[in-house]
C-alpha cells in the first residue's frame, strides 16, 4: 500500500500530500484504526509523537508499571491467529511485555510504513469549501485528509505539578508518565515520590527495594487491592484460548466494563455481616479490579459502598504495623471505586520497611522544593525532607489533555478548545458538532477509561471504519454530530453519572486534578454492552442524530 494517494487534489497547497484519513497516535487505538482502514483500501497516514508505537505503554516505563486488567483480556480480539499465538507470561503483563506486543502487532500487520514516528500533529483545520482537513505536523509539513481520527489516548498527557521551586532541584526529576528509556537505578539514593495514585502504588514497592531511603508524599490515600500477580500456566492460557469467542462476546456485549467476571445478583446490604465479609475476603484473596464486582450496588449506594471500603480499610490496618501510618493510608474522603481503584503488589506492606517514610501532605502541604530537599509546612511546622531524586507520580490531564494540545478548527473557524471550554461535548464520545469528519477514539462521553480500554478501542475503531465505508458507499461528503443529539447525549452522560457515587470523588474522571479544568464527569457509566448497542442502533438507523451531507451528489450521480 503506498502511503500517499491523491483523492482530491482540489484547492490545496501545492505539494501537500493528500490522504483519505489521517490518524493521530499509534497506540493500540491508532494501530488498529490503520489496520481496519487500510483493509478498506484507504490511504492512511498515522502520526505518532513518540519514538515508537505503543502509546501509553511507550511512555509509562516507570518501575513496576503493568496493566491492571488481566493480560488474556487486555489484548486485541480482532485477529484470532494473534490471540491464539501470542503468549502472555503473567496474569498482569508488565509494561515491557505490553510494549513488545504492540511492536509485534505493528510488524505482524505491516503497519510501520504508514506510521510516521517522532512527529506531533500541531493543528488540524477544516476547509469547508473543499471539505477536507488540513493537518500540520511538527516537521513543518501540511497534508490534507478527508477524515481525521484522534487516537490520542486518554492518559497520555503527563501533568507536571505546580510546585514552587521544582526547577531549583539539583537531583534528577522523573515523571512516571514520561519515564526515560534508559534503566534508572535508585540504589544508594534517597528518593522522594510525590503522589499516591496507581502509578505510585505500582512503583513505590519496587523503588523501595532499591533506594537507600524512600519518602512518599501523600495528599490523598487511595484504595488498592492486591494484584496476586503470577506466571500464567499453559493450562490457564489454553483455557482462555479455547473459549475466546464466547469470552470476548461476553466482554463486549454483556459486561459493564469490558472484563469477563461473574455478574453480581444482589446488593451488599442483602447479606449479613459474616456472609458479606466472607465474599469480600474471597475477592481480596483472588485479587484485582473485580473486587468491586462482589455486589451490584457498590457504586450506587453509599451504605453498601461503606461495607467494601471498611473491609479494605481493615485490611490496611492489619497489614501496616505502625498504627499512625496505617491510619494515613486508609482512604477517608471518597467512596471506594469512585476513583479507579488501584491494583498493587505489596504496596501497603512496603510501609513496614525501615527505609520507607510516609508524609501526609494534606495537613502539611509541600511548600516548595529546595535544591536538595522537599519542604513541607503545616500543622507540624516546617520540615525539610532530603532527597537525591524526585519521582512525580502526579498523573495526567486525562481524556481531553492530548486533544487540547492540538489546535483543531472546525466549521467557521471554531476551535475545539473554545467549544469545550466548559467541558467536553460530544455525541457518543465519537464526534463533536461543528467538526465534520473528525472522529475521536474513546473520547469523553464514551465508556473509555471505565472499561478495559482495548474492548472500547476495538468497538470505536470498528464503528468508525464501518461509518467511513458507508459514507463512501453512499457517496456522502461529511458526517458530524447533530447539535441536538449532542446536547441530549451530554445530558444523558451527566444524568447517569449523577445516579452513582462517582461524582463524590475529586477524580481525574471529573477533571478535578487539573486546576481550572471544568468539573464534568467525562466517561459514560452506562456500561460497554449498553453503549455498544446504542452505537449500533444509531448506525442502523442511518446514523441517527448525525448530520450527513453529500446526498445531492449521490442523487445527481445516480
Ligand atoms: P493519578 O491517579 O491522577 O494520581 C496522581 C497522584 O498525584 C494523586 O495521588 C494526586 O493527589 C497526586 N498529586 C497530583 N498533583 C499533586 C501535587 N501538586 N502535589 C501533591 N500531590 C499531587 O495518576 P496515576 O498516574 O497514578 O494514575 C492514572 C491512571 O493510570 C490510573 O487511574 C490507572 O487507570 C492508570 P490527589 O489525589 O490529587 O490529592
Any atom of ligand 1 within 6 Å of the Cβ of 305: no
**Number of the ligand 1 atom closest to the C-alpha atom of 392:** 7
Task: Tell me how many degrees the CA angle 491-497-502 measures, rounded to the nearest 5.
Answer: 150
pLDDT at 6: 36
CB-CB neighbours of 51 under 10 Å:
10
Residue of 93, 156, 163, 195 to test ligand 1 pocket, by largest number of atoms within 8 Å of CB: 195
Give the end-to-end CA distance of the chain in Å, rounded to a whole number. 30
Rounded to whole angstroms, what are the CA distances from 134 to 145, 205, 407, 441, 477?
7, 47, 11, 20, 16
pLDDT at 448: 94
Whose CA is closest to atom 36 on ligand 1? 220
pLDDT digits (tens, 9 = 90+) for 225-245: 999 999 999 999 999 999 999
H or E element at residue 512: none
C-alpha of residue 158 to centroid of ligand 1, in Å: 10
- SS3 sequence of 131-155: CEEEEEECCCCEEEEEEEEECCCCC
pLDDT at 245: 96
Residue 216 has pLDDT above 80, yes or no: yes
Any atom of ligand 1 within 6 Å of the Cβ of 376: no
Rounded to whole angstroms, what are the CA distances from 423 to 372, 431, 503, 517?
39, 14, 15, 8
HSE toward the beta carbon, residue 240, CA cutoff 13 A: 23
| Range 293-300 average pLDDT | 96
Please indicate whether residue 320 or residue 262 has the higher confidence score (pLDDT): 320
Any atom of ligand 1 within 6 Å of the Cβ of 362: no
| Range 133-149 average pLDDT | 98
Q: Which residues contact 310 (CB under 8 A, 6 or more apart)?
A: none
| Range 403-415 average pLDDT | 96
When pLDDT is cut at 50, 70 and 90, the band that residue 553 belongs to is low
C-alpha of residue 115 to centroid of ligand 1, in Å: 31
Q: How far apart are CA 134 and CA 127, in angstroms?
A: 7
HSE toward the beta carbon, residue 123, CA cutoff 13 A: 14
C-alpha of residue 329 to centroid of ligand 1, in Å: 15
Name beta bridge partners: 481: 546
Grid coordinates representing 365 are 502541604
pLDDT digits (tens, 9 = 90+) for 51-81: 999 999 999 999 999 999 999 999 999 999 9
Q: How far apart are CA 309 and CA 247, in angstroms?
A: 30
Residue 1 has pLDDT above 60, yes or no: no
Write down the mean pLDDT value for the chain.
Answer: 94
Residue 455 has pLDDT above 90, yes or no: yes
User: What are the phi and psi torsion angles at 125 (to 5°)?
Assistant: -125, 135
pLDDT at 7: 37
Burial of 167 (0-12, 13-18, 19+ CB in 10 A): exposed
When pLDDT is cut at 50, 70 and 90, the band that residue 16 belongs to is confident
Does residue 461 contact residue 32 with C-beta atoms inside 8 Å?
yes
Grid coordinates representing 191 are 528518593
pLDDT at 555: 54
Does residue 341 contact residue 223 with C-beta atoms inside 8 Å?
yes
Grid coordinates representing 67 are 496493566
Rounded to whole angstroms, what are the CA distances from 519 to 293, 377, 415, 506?
27, 28, 20, 9
Determine the 3-state secondary structure of 225 from DSSP.
strand
Residue 4 has pLDDT above 80, yes or no: no
Whose grid coordinates read 483493509?
39
H or E element at residue 128: none
Residue 293 has pLDDT above 80, yes or no: yes
pLDDT at 42: 98
User: What are the phi and psi torsion angles at 343 (to 5°)?
Assistant: -130, 125
Residue 360 has pLDDT above 70, yes or no: yes
Residue 2 has pLDDT above 70, yes or no: no
Q: Please state, for a pLDDT cut of 90, what percent of the chain lies above it.
A: 90
Q: How far apart are CA 447 and CA 483, in angstroms?
A: 21
C-alpha of residue 220 to centroid of ligand 1, in Å: 9
| Range 486-509 average pLDDT | 94
pLDDT at 156: 85
Q: How far apart are CA 5 and CA 532, in angstroms?
A: 33
Q: How far apart are CA 467 and CA 464, in angstroms?
A: 5
HSE toward the beta carbon, residue 27, CA cutoff 13 A: 24
When pLDDT is cut at 50, 70 and 90, the band that residue 8 belongs to is very low
Any atom of ligand 1 within 6 Å of the Cβ of 155: yes
Amino acid at each position: 500500500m503506498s502511503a500517499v494517494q491523491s483523492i482530491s487534489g482540489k484547492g490545496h497547497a501545492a505539494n501537500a500530500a493528500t490522504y483519505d484519513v489521517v490518524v493521530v497516535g499509534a497506540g493500540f487505538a491508532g494501530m488498529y484504526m490503520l489496520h481496519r482502514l487500510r483493509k478498506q483500501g484507504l490511504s492512511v497516514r498515522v502520526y505518532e509523537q513518540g519514538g515508537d508505537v505503543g502509546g501509553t505503554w511507550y511512555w509509562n516505563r516507570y518501575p513496576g508499571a503493568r496493566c491492571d486488567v488481566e493480560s488474556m483480556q487486555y489484548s486485541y480480539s480482532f485477529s484470532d491467529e494473534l490471540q491464539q499465538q501470542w503468549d502472555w507470561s503473567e496474569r498482569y503483563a508488565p509494561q515491557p511485555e505490553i510494549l513488545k506486543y504492540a511492536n509485534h502487532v505493528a510488524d505482524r500487520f505491516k503497519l510501520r510504513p504508514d506510521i510516521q514516528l517522532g512527529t506531533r500533529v500541531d493543528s488540524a483545520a477544516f476547509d469547508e469549501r473543499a471539505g477536507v482537513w488540513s493537518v500540520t505536523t511538527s516537521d513543518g509539513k501540511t497534508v490534507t485528509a478527508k477524515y481525521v481520527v484522534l487516537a490520542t489516548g486518554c492518559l497520555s498527557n503527563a501533568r507536571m505539578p505546580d510546585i514552587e521551586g521544582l526547577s531549583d532541584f539539583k537531583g534528577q526529576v522523573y515523571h512516571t508518565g514520561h519515564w526515560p528509556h534508559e534503566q534508572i537505578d535508585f540504589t544508594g539514593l534517597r528518593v522522594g515520590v510525590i503522589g499516591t495514585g496507581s502509578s505510585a502504588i505500582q512503583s513505590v514497592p519496587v523503588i523501595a527495594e532499591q533506594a537507600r531511603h524512600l519518602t512518599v508524599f501523600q495528599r490523598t490515600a487511595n484504595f488498592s487491592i492486591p494484584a496476586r500477580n503470577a506466571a500464567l500456566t499453559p493450562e490457564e492460557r489454553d483455557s482462555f484460548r479455547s473459549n475466546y469467542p464466547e469470552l470476548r462476546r461476553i466482554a463486549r456485549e454483556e459486561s459493564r466494563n469490558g472484563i469477563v467476571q461473574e455478574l453480581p445478583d444482589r446488593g451488599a446490604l442483602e447479606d449479613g455481616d459474616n456472609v458479606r465479609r466472607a465474599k469480600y475476603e474471597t475477592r481480596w484473596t483472588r485479587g484485582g479490579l473485580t473486587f468491586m464486582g462482589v455486589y451490584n450496588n457498590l457504586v450506587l449506594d453509599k451504605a453498601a459502598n461503606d461495607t467494601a471500603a471498611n473491609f479494605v480499610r481493615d485490611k490496611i490496618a492489619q497489614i501496616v504495623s505502625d498504627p499512625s501510618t496505617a491510619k494515613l493510608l486508609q482512604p477517608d474522603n471518597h467512596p471506594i471505586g469512585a476513583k479507579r481503584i488501584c491494583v498493587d503488589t505489596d504496596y501497603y506492606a512496603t510501609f513496614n520497611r525501615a527505609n520507607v517514610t510516609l508524609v501526609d501532605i494534606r495537613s502539611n502541604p509541600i511548600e516548595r522544593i529546595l535544591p536538595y530537599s522537599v519542604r513541607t509546612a503545616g500543622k507540624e511546622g516546617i520540615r525539610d525532607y532530603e532527597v537525591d531524586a524526585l519521582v512525580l507520580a502526579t498523573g495526567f490531564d486525562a481524556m481531553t489533555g492530548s486533544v487540547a494540545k492540538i489546535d483543531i478548527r472546525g466549521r467557521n473557524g471554531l476551535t475545539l478548545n473554545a467549544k469545550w471550554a466548559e467541558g467536553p461535548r460530544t455525541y457518543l464520545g465519537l464526534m463533536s458538532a461543528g467538526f465534520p469528519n473528525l472522529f475521536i477514539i474513546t473520547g469523553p462521553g464514551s465508556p473509555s477509561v471505565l472499561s478495559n480500554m482495548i474492548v472500547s478501542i476495538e468497538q470505536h475503531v470498528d464503528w468508525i471504519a464501518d461509518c467511513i465505508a458507508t459514507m463512501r458507499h453512499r457517496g456522502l461528503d461529511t458526517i458530524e454530530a447533530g447539535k441536538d443529539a449532542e446536547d441530549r447525549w451530554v445530558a444523558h452522560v451527566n444524568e447517569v453519572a449523577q445516579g452513582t457515587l462517582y461524582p463524590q470523588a475529586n477524580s481525574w474522571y471529573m477533571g478535578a486534578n487539573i486546576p481550572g479544568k471544568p468539573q464534568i464527569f467525562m466517561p459514560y457509566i452506562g456500561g460497554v454492552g449498553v453503549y455498544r448497542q446504542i452505537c449500533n442502533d444509531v448506525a442502523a438507523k442511518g446514523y441517527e442524530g448525525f448530520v450527513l451531507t453529500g446526498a445531492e451528489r449521490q442523487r445527481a450521480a445516480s
